[in-house]
Amino acid sequence: DTEVTQTPKHLVMGMTNKKSLKCEQHMGHRAMYWYKQKAKKPPELMFVYSYEKLSINESVPSRFSPECPNSSLLNLHLHALQPEDSALYLCASSQPTGGRVNTEAFFGQGTRLTVV
Amino acid sequence: AQSVTQLGSHVSVSEGALVLLRCNYSSSVPPYLFWYVQYPNQGLQLLLKYTSAATLVKGINGFEAEFKKSETSFHLTKPSAHMSDAAEYFCAVLKAAGNKLTFGGGTRVLVKP
């Protein structure tokens, strides 16, 4: 199973709503990522978790709050978002590098988020 | 800092013609390099990866890439384009410390019948 599953596929939320994006993988990967992708742009890294601990936060606004409850799950909690936060949110997983070479990241299909 | 630059945001090829997508990297150490493909409204799918085992890397769907240290390049090629190759292609470099995967700007491929 080389699949990363993201739910929901589409989400429309108001600026005062609280919602969560979910990501799950069963490949035994211990690094998980959140990326944000605007239309016609490359994915931009938001957060990296390594062994369930937050290792990278790319200066993301606090209205985005990541959580890694266990090695298979990654959540992104959303609160008080702005319309400019509308984008495709991609989750990915891989083995942590730590000197290993088999480090390709597997991506989910993404959640298309629209903030109204 | 490690980064990648993709030359050409759009490439148009005829069906059956050679596909060549350019990627140059900047790195002070041998990098881990990847090519990903993204179809409309989809996630990213790995085409191939370079991890220093061999300079010519073969991937899925008939794609291959050659790592050239002297040119700091990792260009992606396919001998004969198919209509199904129309997609966005991203070159990416992995910074080992911190598991940070960084993407180039992307190249959109259009295949003409």
- With a cut of 60, say whether residue A102 has pLDDT above it: no
Nearest CA in chain B to A88: B41
Distance from CA of A14 to the nearest CA of B (A): 22
Nearest CA in chain A to B6: A42
* Arithmetic mean of pLDDT over chain A: 92
User: What is the token pair recorded at B75?
Assistant: 């260009």
Show residues of chain B in contact with A41, CB under 8 Å: 105-106
User: What is the token pair recorded at A64?
Assistant: 């985005």
Q: Check residue A66 and give its pLDDT.
A: 98
Mean pLDDT of the B92-112 span: 87
Residue contact A107–B36, C-beta within 8 A: yes
Burial bucket for residue B44 (CB in 10 Å: 0-12, 13-18, 19+)? buried
- With a cut of 60, say whether residue B67 has pLDDT above it: yes
Q: Check residue B26 and give its pLDDT.
A: 87
pLDDT band of A19, cuts 50, 70, 90:
very high
Question: For the segment A56-88, what is each residue's pLDDT rounded down to a tens digit?
Answer: 999 999 999 999 999 999 999 999 999 999 999
Question: For the segment B18-31, what is each residue's pLDDT rounded down to a tens digit?
Answer: 999 999 998 766 67
Residue contact B106–A110, C-beta within 8 A: no
The more confidently predicted of residues A10 and B52 is A10
* Arithmetic mean of pLDDT over chain B: 91
Residue contact B103–A43, C-beta within 8 A: yes
Mean pLDDT of the A101-112 span: 85
Nearest CA in chain A to B39: A109
Q: Check residue B110 and give its pLDDT.
A: 97
Show residues of chain B in contact with A90, CB under 8 Å: 43-44
Burial bucket for residue B63 (CB in 10 Å: 0-12, 13-18, 19+)? buried
Q: Check residue B32 and give its pLDDT.
A: 85
Q: Check residue B27 and give its pLDDT.
A: 73
Q: Is A31 part of the contact surface with chain B (CB cutoff 8 Å)?
A: yes
Residue contact A101–B105, C-beta within 8 A: no
Strand partners, A80: none
Q: Tokens 């990866």 sit at which residue?
A: B49
Question: For the segment B75-90, what is each residue's pLDDT rounded down to a tens digit?
Answer: 999 999 999 999 999 9
Mean pLDDT of the B37-62 span: 91
Amino acid at A112: R
